[in-house]
Amino acid sequence: MIGRHRHLLGLEGLSREEILQVLDLATSMKEVLARPLKKVPSLRGKLVVNLFFEASTRTRSSFEIASKVLSADAVNWTASASSVTKGETLVDTARNLEAMRPDVLVIRHAAGGAPQLVSEHVACAVVSAGDGAHEHPSQGLLDCFTLREKLGTLEGKTVAIVGDVSHSRVARSDLHAMPKLGAKVRLCGPPTMIPQGIERLGGCTVHHDLREAVEGADAVVMLRIQHERIGDPLIPGTREYSKLWGLNARKAAEWLTPGCVILHPGPINRGVELSPEVADGPRSVILDQVQNGVAVRMAILYLLAGGSPAEVSAAGARS
């Protein structure tokens, strides 16, 4: 359980204490990843099924590695190689997989609310690995974990989230989590990519000028343009977008404070939202996010598969 929750479907319903429960446990999990033998028996005998209806590199691999480090068995399932291509419904697919007695179903789907629907028809724990433009809770948690690791705390810090906020499930999860940990959030992007009324979520502020949004910020989360979710073009072109809302080496040097770190959930459109010099530069913590994603997902799986922090410590001590 994560606090009161049997599933992890989003961060909107999690309290500050429940978010910290995951982040604190992830700190212990990261210590396991630093050992020469990256294996603990904490979830031995447990089964994790990854159901991905959308393409994924980082998230699916991260959940699979997290499962294996904890000694759980992991099964990967893709829509293209399943009975979905024969017309099977999402619920029927989930119920058939659930009949094989997994402990956790990790699901990514193009439709917002799909993990919630599955959770209402199965007995095992369900984790959203991203649904439509709704939420991407494990990414939001790893973003918070990385910021806490790099900045010491999110209390009183300012985070600018820049880009295609309208279609970003990462932005929504960040927006639901970061203010609960004390951070102030600024959203920035073209007017067509910022939903009206989003200021009501988490008390954020909205900006359309990049320099204004990143001035004095402790961290900047750059988002990619989600071409696969956009029907009509929301911007004239990527060249203009990059000029106005992209971050290059000159802007980073002139506009950002010395300690400001740069995050990106990936995959990066190099030369559009981030120049290669910035993506690979000293401010970038993008690969730290990838590494921390395994630790955070270990914590999520451990809690939802029936573990407890005390057992993690004991398991780590025995390994």
* 138 in Cβ contact with 149 (< 8 Å): no
Instruction: Tokens for 20, please give them.
Output: 């910290």
Q: Are 49 and 77 in contact (CB under 8 A)?
A: yes
Closest to 178 in 3D by CA, of 156, 209, 149: 156
Burial environment of residue 250 by CB neighbours within 10 A (0 to 12, 13 to 18, 19 or more): exposed
What's the CA dihedral at 127, 183, 149, 293 to 10 degrees? Answer: 20
59 marked as binding residue: yes
169 is an annotated ligand-binding site residue: yes
224 marked ligand binding residue: yes
Which ranges in the chain belong to alpha helices (H)?
16-33, 58-69, 90-98, 114-119, 137-151, 169-177, 210-214, 238-245, 249-255, 276-279, 286-304, 309-318
139 is in an annotated binding site: yes
- CA–CA separation, 113 vs 133, rounded Å? 10
How far apart CA 308 and CA 2 sit, in angstroms, is 10
* 8 A C-beta contact, residue 103 and residue 47: yes
The one-character DSSP state at 236 is S
Q: Please tell me whether 58 is known to bind a ligand.
A: yes
**Residue 150 is labelled as binding a ligand:** no
Tell me which DSSP letter residue 38 carries.
-
Q: Is 112 annotated as a binding residue?
A: no
**Cα–Cα dist 138/145, whole Å:** 10
238 is in an annotated binding site: no
Is 6 flagged in the annotation as binding? Answer: no
89 carries a ligand binding annotation:
no
Residues making up the annotated binding site are 58-59, 86, 108, 136, 139, 169, 224, 266-267
Residues making up the annotated binding site for L-aspartate are 86, 169, 224
Residues making up the annotated binding site for carbamoyl phosphate are 58-59, 108, 136, 139, 266-267
